[in-house]
Amino acid sequence: MKTQPEPEYRHGSPARVGVLLVNLGTPDAPTAPAVRRYLAQFLSDQRVVEIPAAVWKPILHGIILRTRPAKSAAKYASIWTPEGSPLAVWTRKQAELLQASVTAHGLAITVRHAMRYGSPSIASELDALKAAGCDRILVVPMYPQYSGTTTASVMDDVHHWQLRQRTLPEIRWIRQHHDDEGYIDALARRVQDHWAREGRGDHLLLSFHGVPERTLTLGDPYHCHCYKTARLLGERLGLDKDALSLSFQSRFGKAKWLEPYTEPTLQALAKKGVKHLQIFCPGFSADCLETLEEIAIEGKHVFLKAGGQRYDHIPCLNDHPAWIDALHGLVERHTAGWAVRADAQPRAALLEGQRQRALALGAKV
């Protein structure tokens, strides 16, 4: 006789909070087949490419996925590490360090990480948190500046997972943290650490990932969030307006994207007489292809070719202690009223057990 599986919910189970850090994603390997799988998932997301599927799919499958994977694989190979993709390595380490931080503060929180595209998937990690007894889950998209192309897509995937669940955990999520004090402080500390080691350059360029300009006219706040982050960071560093500028990178396709574009900005700064340029990417919480290859390698070539003399790429937040502290602060605030102290768990379980026994005896509670 086939036995029925045990129900997911067990009476008397101590409450536990789960935190899921979600980044964009990365291929599993720097090879054309792996990149093709990754791009197929990424570029099929209608939050990312807002072109009718009937028009877009023939272009995606008939042209892009036939030509782009090999070129992109070569770029990934240039920044791949013995541990794997830098984005995967840093995101995993951020989750591990955040776990250590909340545990050290006595909070009964389980931290995991996922990728919107690729692995580990959001669904598999939500399953793991639920199996670990987390009935309250905070989703933390690792995009400081909100955009429908990124944060909203993460929440789409979370909602798809919820549709397949019978017993739903409570879900909260962080919409954006572009102006969070801890985040701005972490950015400033990263820049100041670089200055302490390498000296201060003539100019600091902040390069954010670009999105199509039409997203701004449709109401997406991303453009405004980027400018606010830049302003707050400039103030925190005490920089004059002439010593700081902002640009948008990673343009794809022929449509107009948010301006100014990073590559022409690099050329203009060199021609303007900036000799020592330092460039930083505040919108990326972890170094990845777009920062290590597009900015650190290609950007340097563009700037030096245009007449610049020195070009410094300042690493992303990665595992900087100030960033882990900022993440801890974000998590603690957004789990307010949820997080149970680890030393309170046994007593909570005992009280729940007593309540259930009283109910079984028909007592009034």
Q: Which residues are annotated as a binding site for Fe(2+)?
A: 209, 290
Cα 150 to Cα 158: distance, rounded to the nearest angstrom: 13
Cα 127 to Cα 169: distance, rounded to the nearest angstrom: 11
Q: Output phi, psi for 214, to 5 deg.
A: -60, -25
Instruction: Pick out the residues of the known binding site.
Output: 209, 290
Task: Report CA torsion sign: 41, 124, 24, 36.
Answer: negative
Q: How many Cβ atoms from other residues are within 10 Å of residue 74's Cβ?
A: 13
Burial class for 156, CB neighbours closer than 10 Å (0-12, 13-18, 19+): middle
Q: Where are the alpha helices (DSSP H) in 118-249?
A: 122-131, 151-163, 181-198, 214-217, 222-237
**232 residue type, one letter:** L
Q: Where are the alpha helices (DSSP H) in 6-85?
A: 32-42, 53-59, 65-79
